[in-house]
Amino acid sequence: MPEIKEELKQRLLPLIEEEDLELVELDLAGRPPRFILRIFVDKVGGVNVEECADLSRKLSDYLDTEDLIQSRYTLEVSSPGLERPLLSLDDFRRKIGERVKVELKSPLDEKKEIKGEIVEVREDEVVIALEDKVERIPWDRIDKGRIII
């Protein structure tokens, strides 16, 4: 299924970008004969319900025409919400100044989770200000990140 997801990303990304939206995440769940294709989009200032509905119609028409999913499926297009996941260095970079929770693949200073404010994003690390110090986290140690409120 990873091949299908990657092809869907490559084919749908230009359509999403035409709407001045950013693809946050694409997930294909389920199994034949029924799949759920979840697409999370965002933009500066947030995305509203009408924009999600418009994009859903556009993507649905395209998917029906191209027949990329060889089975029945349900398409869900939505905003990632306030506590959106951070999946790339660019995601972290766009959220400099925001509070985040970062889960680590392996402990850093005996911690598997770090909460703080993103102060800088470099080529291969994220710099987070904690209450008492600044933590430099190598990108390859980050499992996932999420905005916290």
* Numbered ranges of CATH 3.30.300.70 in the chain: 2-78
pLDDT at 40: 93
32 band by pLDDT with thresholds 50, 70 and 90: confident
| pLDDT above 90 (res 44) | no
Higher pLDDT, 44 or 141: 141
CATH architecture of 2-78: 2-Layer Sandwich (3.30)
Separation between Cα atoms, residue 106 and residue 112, nearest integer Å: 6
pLDDT at 2: 67
pLDDT at 46: 81
pLDDT at 117: 96
The class (CATH top level) of 85-147 is mainly beta
Whether cis (ω within 30° of 0) applies to the bond prior to 80 is no
Q: Are 148 and 101 in contact (CB under 8 A)?
A: yes
| pLDDT tens per residue, range 66-123 | 988 888 899 999 988 777 788 889 889 888 999 999 999 999 888 899 999 999 999 9
Q: What is the pTM of this model?
A: 0.68
| pLDDT above 70 (res 1) | no
Residue among 110, 117, 148 nearest 132 (CA): 117
